[in-house]
Structure formats: structure tokens, C-alpha cells
Amino acid sequence: MNMETDKKQQFIQTVLFAVCIGLIIYVAFRYALPILSPFLIAFIVTALVTPAVDFFHRKLHIPKKLSAIVLVTLAYLVLAGIFILVGIGVYRWAMNADGWVQTVFIPEALSIFERLSTLLDEFASDLVPFLASVRDNLITVIGSKVSTVSAELISGAASSLPGFAIGIIFAVVATYFMATDTDRIRHFIATRQTESFYTKVSAAYLSLKKTVGKYLRAYFFIFLITFAELTVGFLCAGVSNFALIALLVAVFDILPILGSSMILLPWSVILLLTGDYRRGAVMFAVYLIVVIVRQFIEPKIVGEHVGLHPLITLIAMYVGGKLFGGVGILGFPICCAVIVQLQNAGFLNLFPQRRGPVIVQTPKQSENIFSKTVKK
């Protein structure tokens, strides 16, 4: 009776502990992450520059504070350059969106519908007026949507710019403080915690650091595979500047939520509708290959790199995407991998092993055993 009660209590404690960890992860992603994002950026940049700071101090005897200030400044200058280039590109697109609709989209749409009307006129002439109304409505709706999106993009960026600038200022200042006083911060944290708790926190941090590095390597490998597929496909389709366009589409594909299907599928449909059947068919084949290969290799490659089974990785990516969007697709498998590694290291006991592994014999093995017994 006591053993059954102990088992029930242990089961309840395990479930409650798992629920608490799940709630902590949910609150961290949903509420704490947006609020603490400047300090998270500062922490990430500090973690990236700290090995270089230690290297310069150990090999070249450069003071840590001096090398930290220089490296942090260089890191933020690179990030600022990337952000400015992306911002200029988005701003130019938003400012020229209406002109693109008038000079590119509407003529192409009219040409496509003209071909469809000619085709339908031979088989179902009654559908031509309906197709004309669809054409007019589609052009009107897309034109207004593009204008609305571009206006909202510019106004939203303008309204959020002060808050964004304040967040960046806090991130930069916090990074300088963290990078120049890393040793003092570590000492302060280590001396204010119990030894067992500090050991667990250190193990969690090292596990997170290792997992993020493996995660980035996994997605870089996926990026290379996608880039190779797109390069070969665009070369077969006769696309000019195929390597550069394949690189841009591969970068777009690796980003959360977006994906290459937002480019390849409309591109192939437009080519087919405009009568370029060979290139359209090749482009559609490239789209299918990229999507299918990505769906198969992503859970397996990411799972192998971060130490999760592909099925667990797939579930974590799906649940994370549903709960937290693009951040969850990337972050939720990392959290699961860290929990699994802490479980394997003995710092957590969420899923205690009750017994040894059970060996399930296949029918062929059972038949062999039976035949050996008969022979005896």
C-alpha cells in the first residue's frame, strides 16, 4: 500500500514539475522575451565576443576591457550595417510599390488573363465575362492591398522607431557592461548560490550554448542543401544570374515563417500561365523537390545535431510554431534539447527509468528460437 502511494506521489510530482517547466517556457517566450529582448541581445553578443576577448588576452596580453570594447563596437557596427541595408531595401520597395503595381503587375496580369480568355473562348465562351470580372476585382484588390501594406509598413516603422532606438541603446550599453565585467558577474553569481544550484545552472548554460551552436550548424547545413538544389534547378530552367538568385531564395527559405514556396510557387504558376511551359514545369519541379526534401531532412538533421529524435524535433517545431510563431519554430526544439541533456546528465529527473529495456522479438527471431528448440 505504501509503495503504491509513493509511486502515485512520485508520479504527481513528476507531472507537476513538467507542467511548471512548460509554464516557465511559455511565459518566457510569450511575455518575458519581448520585454527583456534588449538584454537578451546583449547577452548573445557578449557570449559571441567573450571567447575572442579571452583569446586576445591570453595570446596577445591585451587588456580584457580594451578588447571587449573594440570587439563589441565592431559587432554592433556589422549588425548596424546589415540592418541599414535591409531597411533601405524595404523602404525602397515600400516607396515604389504603387509604381510596381502600375508598371509591372497590371500589365503582366492583363497579359495572363488575355491568354486565358483566348483559351476559354474556344471551349467555354460563357466564362469569358466572368473571367473579366475576376480580373478587374483581382487587380483592384491586389493594388489596394499593396498600397495599404506599404503605407502601414512605413507608418509602423516610423511609429516604432523611437521604442526600437531606445531598446537598441539599452542593448548596446548593457553589452558593454556585460563584456567588460564578465569575470565580476560570474564571480557574483557563483558566490551567491549554493554549490548544487550553481552546478545545475552552469550545466544548463553550457548545454544551451552547445545546443545553440549545433542548431546553427544544422540549419547552415540545410541552407547549403537548399542552395545546391536551387542552383541546379535555376541552371536547368535557364534563369540568368542563377547562383545569386539561388542564394537569395535559400536565405529567404531558412527564415522562420517565410520559406521558398512564397517565391517558387508563384514564379512557376506565372511562367505556366504566360506560356513558358518548359521553364514553368522545371520551376514547379524545383519547388516540389525543395519543399519535400526540407520536410524530410529538417527534423532529422536538426534532431541529430541537438540530440533529439526526429519525431520529437518535428513535434517541438510544430507546437512551437503554433504557440509562438517563427520564434517557437527555432526556440522550442532548443528548449526540449536542453531539458533532455539535463535529464541525461542527471540534473533533472522528469522521466525516470523504471526498468531495463524490453527486447521485442520479431516473428522471424521467434521462429528461429523455436526451430533451435525443436532440433535439441
Per residue in 110-127, pLDDT (tens digit) is 777 777 777 666 666 666
pTM, two decimal places: 0.54
Alpha-carbon radius of gyration of the chain: 28
Distance (Å, rounded) from C-alpha 264 to C-alpha 268? Answer: 6
- Between the alpha carbon of residue 223 and those of residues 72, 289, 325, 356, 369, the distances in Å are 28, 14, 20, 40, 49
What is the per-residue pLDDT for 307? Answer: 66
The neighbour count for residue 38, using CB atoms within 10 Å, is 18
Among candidates 293, 269, 273, which has minimal Cα distance to 283? Answer: 269
Percentage of the chain modeled with pLDDT above 70: 71
* Residues with Cβ within 8 Å of residue 337, at least 6 apart in sequence: 207, 211, 215, 306, 307, 308
What is the per-residue pLDDT for 123? Answer: 64
**Number of residues written out for the chain:** 376
pLDDT tens readout for residues 321-337? 777 776 677 777 777 77
What is the per-residue pLDDT for 370? Answer: 42
Average the pLDDT over 304-322 and give the result: 73
What is the per-residue pLDDT for 355? Answer: 53
Residue 319 in contact with residue 332, Cβ under 8 Å?
A: yes
Q: Which residue has the cell 505556366?
A: 272
Percentage of the chain modeled with pLDDT above 90: 1
Is the model's pLDDT at 373 over the cut of 60? no
Distance (Å, rounded) from C-alpha 78 to C-alpha 186? Answer: 27
What CA dihedral angle connects 84, 87, 93 and 94, to 10 degrees? -140
Average the pLDDT over 255-267 and give the result: 71
**Mapping DSSP to helix (H, G, I), strand (E, B) and coil, where does residue 101 land?**
helix
Distance (Å, rounded) from C-alpha 67 to C-alpha 73? Answer: 10
Residue 374 — very low, low, confident or very high, per pLDDT cuts 50/70/90? Answer: very low
What is the per-residue pLDDT for 369? Answer: 45
How does the average pLDDT of the chain come out, rounded? 75
